[in-house]
Homo-oligomer: A and B are copies of this chain.
Amino acid sequence: MSDDPALAERRRAIEAALERVLRPETEWPEALNRAMRYSVFAGGKRLRPLLALAACEAVGGAAQDALTFACSLELVHTFSLIHDDLPCMDDDDLRRGRPTVHKAFDDATAVLVGDGLQSLAFAHLLAGGDPRAAALAALLADGAWRMVQGQAIDLAAEGRVLSEAEVLELMAAKTGALITAAVVGGAIAATGSPRGLDRVGARLGLAFQIADDLLDVTGDTAALGKRAGKDVAKGKATLPALLGVAEARRRAESACAEAIEALAPLGERAEPLRALARFVVTRTR
């Protein structure tokens, strides 16, 4: 993905925009601002903001139109990673190849940074008075709320055998909702309407989560930048665990193909979104 110059340019725009959203480390309270920057500028893939920009372009908008929303998405996503990594949650030491926030700082800072990133995401999105901001913030709030519900289901399900339908529901909540919000929000930022991208988002969310679960089984910690093999160790309910690696991979590829197929009517403009869809299932981290 990093070899594509168009994507690299969009990623630079996202980094620059995030740079403007976060407060400087020299500002009071320094510890909070430092930890927020540590968590946001940790070399993340920026997949959700890239999806929002690409979806915006796919329906005829300029990538710039979705940039504020894209930043808010990344803040919410980062908040969820920080809280999921806490000792009382998934207890992870490594994220994006660096110590997790509670390891680099402390648990209190990690809780506050997560809380602050969620608040700031909404404050940033709603600050400009953009007439589409209310619809985008509603989408973001629903995505965040579904994500929290998904994490609650995930914790409750540890060591329990879920049915395939339950695993799919878990995935749709935990990951699918925010990825769907990214794609649908991109279209809303461009046109004020989802433009039928709901289905594309849902399929990509599913493909992304299966790919993530497959990487936990087949990837290695150094390449992933986070601990591999932890889902199996914890007895997490995943599709690879339920259906096996080969069938799970087939499902991810099929969900990705359906997303790309649904983009056919949008023609050439949807090419960046198609490239991201392919990346979702071929990525190695």
Q: What is A's interface to B at a CB cutoff of 8 Å?
A: 28-29, 31-32, 79-80, 83, 86, 88-89, 106-109, 111-112, 114-116, 118-120, 122-123, 126-127, 129, 133-134, 137-138, 140-142, 144-145, 147-149, 151-153, 155-156
Contact = CB atoms under 8 A, between A and B. Distances in A.
23 contacts: A29-B156, A32-B149, A79-B115, A80-B115, A83-B115, A86-B108, A89-B111, A109-B152, A112-B151, A112-B152, A112-B155, A116-B145, A116-B149, A116-B152, A119-B141, A119-B147, A120-B145, A122-B141, A123-B142, A126-B137, A126-B138, A134-B134, A137-B137
A140 B108 CA distance: 23
A186 B106 CA distance: 37
Contacts of A141: 119-120, 122-123, 126
Nearest to A169: B28
The 5 A-B pairs of least Cβ separation, nearest first, read A88-B107, A122-B141, A126-B138, A32-B152, A134-B134
A111 B109 CA distance: 13
Given A88-B106, A126-B141, A152 B31 contact: yes
A156 B31 contact: yes
Contacts of A156: 29, 31
Contacts of A155: 108, 112
A28 B88 CA distance: 21
Contact of A89 (B108, B142, B152): B108
